[in-house]
Structure 1
Amino acid sequence: MSQWQEGDGWSAWPAPAKLNLFLRITGRRPDGYHLLQSVFRLLDWGDTVHLRVRADGAIRRMGTSVPGVAEADDLLVRAANLLKNETKCSQGADISTEKRIPAGGGFGGGSSDAATVLVVLNRLWNTGLSTQRLAELGLRLGADVPIFVHGENAWAEGIGEQLTPIALPPAWYVLADPGVHAPTAALFQAPDLTRNAPPAKMSDFVSGHLLGNAFEPVLRRREPAIEAVFQALARIGTPRLTGSGSGCFVEFAQRAQAEAALAELSGVRAWLAPGAARSPLQDALGAET
């Protein structure tokens, strides 16, 4: 029995957070979606999704994963229903989450939770879809879901779904939450957002060149709380924004460096998380085989 097993038919599974180590917008598709480049870094920290198979076919959310979100609109419920409908599965599931990832921070909480539901129920229901097929389903739920389905650090292009695995060195991160829920849709329409940056090459990133985040200057101008966190983090290193959210981070090569930096911060909601070589979910699934 793995460390993720629980009693009464429940099992618990990790839904890791992610960072965008950079993010640039290089254009727009005819359908209006923006073309991106980024590097996704998975973290060994995040939410926990609890699942229990039901024989009656019902999909039930136990508790509230995101306050104010109706059960039918919850990404976890939508993910389960999507897999159930796609595979004509007769089974159902009870779903619950322990939320640690701040909503609207760009750490990928909702997308990761949805990916964990897809991947694990595919195992528990024995529906047999491939990882690629699960990623395709996940893309219907959100552009960040495929990275969590694949479970590998990756160079991303397209709308974020074209993923090339990339090896990243070990690292520790000081993460900070300014407490602002960044409105992604509105940010993409911001007149001061750079949408036509020249495409970067993977070699640019690998060489250590910090490529920046297109949303950072926009959010720092619009949100005083984000600017304040950037100013605080600048005293311990080079702060960066993740995704299109409000979450900020500083990278360190060693845990001791990150711990010392965190100890210097005050007045900021901040915590430590290690980078992961691959998704903790993959490790949990491997322990079950």
Structure 2
Amino acid sequence: MLPDAGRSWPAPAKLNLFLRILGRRPDGYHSLQTVFQFVNLYDELRCAVRRDGELRRIDPLPGVAPADDLCVRAARALKAHTACSLGADISLLKRIPMGGGLGGGSSDAATTLLALNRLWRLDLPRPQLAALGLTLGADVPVFVMGRAAWAEGVGERLTPIDLDQPWYLIVDAGVAVSTASVFKHPKLTRNSAPVTISAYRSGFSGNDCLAVVRALYPVVDAAYCWLSEFGEAHLSGTGGCLFARFEGYESAARTLSLLPAPWRGWVVQGLNHHPLLDH
């Protein structure tokens, strides 16, 4: 039997603890500064190796075309890169909301790369997997490398950073935010001055996308106002999920118990290491 056959592979969510947009690049993307921290809200991936070389998604996501499925795209990219003759049946238990700014799709892609790299016995080093992941999405490399990080460029230039690992309450107001619509918005701040790691550690925060997302999605604005009654509310990435830091699990859980329906929420802890970092 192949190693780790039958196991589940965790794909954690992430938070952008701040997000700064420094300018538009010649390739149309934007130069960013951010800090990524993982949290213990997970999707779970299962992969069964196939000898016939076929790649199949067992449980397709509703509304996601097979060509757009990041798990399948990651598997195809790894297979093509290594000329591996093996295939896989891939299934995913989805917990991280789509379009929430929590990096679920990127995390799923990264975990697919990490799992199949092991199951197919390819032994590619993480930097090589991260470079392959960058072709799938700007957030994939941080999940592959597996450490909380200060990020620049489009989010792929990573400097590991040690952070507190506090408790957060994440609030999902139930909307999937279009990243493209946010970055195309004429009122988006695109020329923020860069900040330093020391400035961040001194208390700098903020997300340049917050005002646009609140304007485009009134329900996110309502959730932001509600969460702000209990702590400093933040937007993660360009998505629809908000989060606030709490002193402990109990205070976050008490606030979660007051969450208005039909919004969803999770009490999570910040993690500086991906659960697959040592695998």
Q: TM-score w.r.t. structure 2 length?
A: 0.96
Q: Which residue of 2 aligns with 1:102?
A: 97
Q: Which runs of 5+ in 2 are unaligned?
A: none
Find 1:262's aligned residue among 246, 256, 259: 256
Q: Which residue of 2 aligns with 1:215?
A: 209
Q: Which residue of 2 aligns with 1:202?
A: 197
Find 1:62's aligned residue among 44, 58, 83: 58
Find 2:70's aligned residue among 61, 75, 78: 75
Equivalence map 1:161-172=2 (5 Å): 161-172=156-167
Per-residue deviation, 1:71: 2.0
Deviations 1:63-112 (A, max 9, x none): 11x21212232110010010001001011111000000000000000000
Is it true that 1:17 corresponds to 2:13 in the alignment? Answer: yes
Q: Which residue of 1 aligns with 2:268?
A: 273
Is it true that 1:237 corresponds to 2:246 in the alignment? Answer: no
Per-residue deviation, 1:45: 1.6
Find 1:89's aligned residue among 84, 87, 91: 84
Contact 1:48 1:97 in 2 (8 A): yes
Is it true that 1:51 corresponds to 2:47 in the alignment? Answer: yes
Equivalence map 1:240-251=2 (5 Å): 240-251=234-245
- Distance in 2 (CA, whole Å) between partners of 1:254 and 1:70 is 40
Residue 81 of structure 1 aligns to a residue in which SS? helix
Contact 1:104 1:182 in 2 (8 A): yes
Contact 1:80 1:118 in 2 (8 A): yes
Aligned AA (2:249): R
- Distance in 2 (CA, whole Å) between partners of 1:69 and 1:261 is 33
| Same amino acid, percent of matched pairs | 52
Is it true that 1:31 corresponds to 2:4 in the alignment? Answer: no
Contact 1:154 1:165 in 2 (8 A): yes
- Distance in 1 (CA, whole Å) between partners of 2:70 and 2:264 is 26
Contact 1:14 1:280 in 2 (8 A): yes
Q: Which runs of 5+ in 1 are unaligned?
A: none
- Distance in 2 (CA, whole Å) between partners of 1:40 and 1:69 is 26
Contact 1:16 1:281 in 2 (8 A): no
- Distance in 1 (CA, whole Å) between partners of 2:202 and 2:84 is 47
Q: Which residue of 2 aligns with 1:131?
A: 126
- Distance in 1 (CA, whole Å) between partners of 2:147 and 2:168 is 18
- Distance in 1 (CA, whole Å) between partners of 2:154 and 2:117 is 25
Equivalence map 1:182-193=2 (5 Å): 182-193=177-188
Aligned AA (1:200): V
Aligned AA (2:57): R
Aligned AA (1:87): T
Residue 282 of structure 1 aligns to a residue in which SS? coil
Q: Which residue of 2 aligns with 1:40?
A: 36
- Distance in 1 (CA, whole Å) between partners of 2:13 and 2:276 is 11
Deviations 1:4-56 (A, max 9, x none): x6xxx422100000000000100121111100000001011210011111111
Deviations 1:145-199 (A, max 9, x none): 0010011100000000000000011211100111111111121110000000000
Contact 1:47 1:101 in 2 (8 A): yes
Residue 273 of structure 1 aligns to a residue in which SS? strand
- Distance in 1 (CA, whole Å) between partners of 2:7 and 2:89 is 11
- Distance in 1 (CA, whole Å) between partners of 2:71 and 2:204 is 37
Q: TM-score w.r.t. structure 1 length?
A: 0.92
Residue 142 of structure 1 aligns to a residue in which SS? coil
Q: Which residue of 1 aligns with 2:155?
A: 160
